[in-house]
Chain A
Amino acid sequence: METNENAAWVAERLATLRPDWEANPSRASVLLKERMEIQPRSRRWVFAMAATTAVVAFALVLPEGRLKAQELWYRFIVKSFSVVRLDLSNAPLRASIETNGPTREVPDLQAAAAYAGFASVVPAGALLGKTVVTGPIHVKQVVDVAALRGALEKVGAHDVRVPDEWSGVTIRMEVGPMVISEIQGDAQIIQAKPFELQVPPGFPLAGFSEAVFRSLGVPAWKATLMANQFAKNPAWLLDVPEDEAVELEEVRIGDGTGLLIVDPSEEKAERATLLFSAKGRIFAVSSASKERSLQLARTIE
């Protein structure tokens, strides 16, 4: 009886919050479409979200001489990381991301291996929380000549030539499957096999990439410099805009280096994500502190 009386009393109070307006799905649908077109400005280093920008950036580092006309697609394996202080989400390209197959929660790492097609590596003795496996993600970038020319015009890069033949050229990126494991509370490890980038043979990727960077306002000399640097050491290039307050640090992980990104979010606790490559996998280890992310990474390196 008391429960019913309680329920009625609480219901009466909560009823005061009932909105006297109806949501407008048409307007919201437009807003949703706009928001979906904007690449997230933070945590883009999480694989699926970063993949689109990685494709653009990678185009810069691919030596044209490696392309062979007899192959339908040329494949590149992408397994290290680097950063540019740019906002590549403004690049004038048509991008689409498709996930293939459902995301499944799995009971253990054996099941994860069966779905993902590779064995996961986690810190020895770690208390595992939920583990999910995503399907492979296909990222597609289609060159839009008119949009690229328009963007170059807008920034005054009149010296950059965009030939008509580039129109509709497609660059693809295959990401995943990924295994995402929660570790002891708030830490998370994402792992995947190195990504695969596919480009049509004969397409002048370096020239195209330079045009994309110039369209974003990068001065000619700097675009060339960046191209040379990345050509020496091809890497998955992540864009972090200048105005984004993140701390970036290169750290030693085993025989190689990792990229540590600390995001001091305004409303939530700091988030430290460490990207590195080891044991034939790409890893993103994130937690609430640098020290914890490093410690976890070092136990799986």
Chain B
Amino acid sequence: MAALRERGLSESPNLDELFSAHYARLARVIGRVIQDPARAEEIAVEVFVKWSRNAQAQGPAAEGWLYRTATREALDEWRRQGRRERFEKLFAPFAAKPIDPEKALLASAEQKRVRVVLAAMDKRAATLLLLWSEELSYREIAAALDVNPNYVGSLLSRAQEAFRKEYRRRYGNE
């Protein structure tokens, strides 16, 4: 609660306060997973809408809920996009719109690999890595994961190890 006050937020921050304080960073966290900036911003807005309609998410734990939900929504959306792409490929001969090759090239091979690995990981570990890479503090990460801040360091080490293991399993020692 003291941390909320330090950042000029009340103990039960309202939608405007949270939106001003967190929107830009939340959109960037989502943007790490979702290639399309417009879609990433839409999802970020949707996270705030969901927050405002979820009584359980409100109160002092609001910030943690926002980041946790944002990363999960982003990963879910990424998986949905993957499923849609597979479906489109199957039905490509009949599709009204051909697959856009330019769009397909937008994501570099490496970005795609990293996203595949994150999507294959345990959601909590993937969330932790995404928030860590966006330079959230251990305290903020702890709030998002609903864990004691003292555990974040060891959870992070484990998540990094799991990421590297999964990456190597899929793509070898590169």
Contacts and interface: CB of A to CB of B under 8 A. Distances in A.
Nearest to A178: B55
Among the interface residues A13, A18, A24, A29, which one has the most CB atoms of the partner chain B within 10 A? A13
A65 interface: no
Contacts of A99: 55, 58
A279 interface: no
Interface in B92-119: 108, 110-111, 113-115
Contacts, number: 110
B55 A48 contact: yes
A141 interface: no
Contacts of A105: 59, 61
Interface in A18-68: 18-19, 21-25, 27-29, 31-32, 35-36, 40, 48-49
Nearest to A101: B12
Interface in B6-49: 11-12, 15, 19-20, 23-24, 27-28, 31-33, 37, 40-42, 44-46, 48-49
B122 interface: no
A260 interface: no
Contacts of B160: 3, 6-7, 10
A49 B130 CA distance: 32
A23 B41 contact: yes
Interface string B159-170: 011011001000
A13 B167 contact: yes
A151 to B, nearest CB: 24
B44 A23 contact: yes
Using C-beta atoms within 8 Å of the partner chain, give the interface range for chain B.
35 or more
Interface string A174-212: 000010100000000000000000000000000000000
Contacts of A161: none
Contacts of A134: 55
B81 interface: no
A49 B53 contact: yes
Interface in B79-100: 80
Given A3-B157, A23-B23, A102-B12, A11 B55 contact: no
A19 B28 CA distance: 7
B141 interface: no
A19 B37 contact: yes
Contacts of A14: 32, 114, 129-130, 132-133
A112 to B, nearest CB: 13
B53 A25 contact: no
A127 interface: no
B157 to A, nearest CB: 5
Interface of A: 3, 6-7, 9-11, 13-19, 21-25, 27-29, 31-32, 35-36, 40, 48-49, 99, 102-105, 130, 132, 134, 178, 180, 267
Interface of B: 11-12, 15, 19-20, 23-24, 27-28, 31-33, 37, 40-42, 44-46, 48-49, 52-53, 55-56, 58-59, 61, 76, 80, 108, 110-111, 113-115, 129-130, 132-133, 156-157, 160-161, 163-164, 167
